[in-house]
Every structure is written in C-alpha cells, then in structure tokens.
C-alpha cells in the first residue's frame, strides 16, 4: 500500500473520531492511537472495536440501530 492510499483513508475520518466499517480479508485498518496513526492487518474472522462497541467483522455490514 502506498502512502498516498493511506492518506486518502485517513482523510475520511474526523479528528479523534472512531467509525465502524466493514473490511475485506487481509485489509489494513488505520486507527488513532495517542495522536499517531497505527496500521494493523486484519483477517476474515477479526473483531473490530469502535469506542465501546464490540462488532465482529461479519456483522460490520449490518446497519446499527439508533
């Protein structure tokens, strides 16, 4: 993945915000950690944490109730 692609992904997030989103197998996820960005690789059965919400990757594409 190029730095340019990473910049495009990170530009979609508001500063300090967390967002739940679906990812494909072996995708890279960018998360904010102490003011810096950290890149982690995820597999098809990964679990994604968003704030206090625990969401399995298979459920990530389902709409959340308000």
Q: How many CB atoms lie within 10 A of CB 9?
A: 14
Over its length of 66 residues, how does the chain's per-residue pLDDT go in tens digits? Answer: 455 555 555 555 555 556 555 655 555 555 554 455 555 556 665 555 554 444 444 455 555 555
Question: Can you tell me the distance from the alpha carbon of 3 to that of 6, in angstroms, rounded to the nearest whole number?
Answer: 5
Q: How many CB atoms lie within 10 A of CB 48?
A: 19
Question: Can you tell me the distance from the alpha carbon of 17 to that of 19, in angstroms, rounded to the nearest whole number?
Answer: 7
What's the pTM value of the predicted model, to 2 decimals?
0.16
CB–CB of 8/28 below 8 Å?
Answer: no
């Amino acid at each position: 993945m190029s730095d340019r692609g990473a910049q495009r992904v990170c530009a979609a997030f508001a500063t300090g915000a967390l967002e739940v989103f679906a990812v494909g197998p072996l995708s890279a996820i960018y998360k904010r950690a102490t003011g810096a960005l950290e890149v982690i690789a995820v597999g098809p059965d990964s679990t994604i944490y968003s704030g206090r919400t625990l969401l399995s990757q298979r459920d990530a594409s389902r709409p959340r109730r308000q």
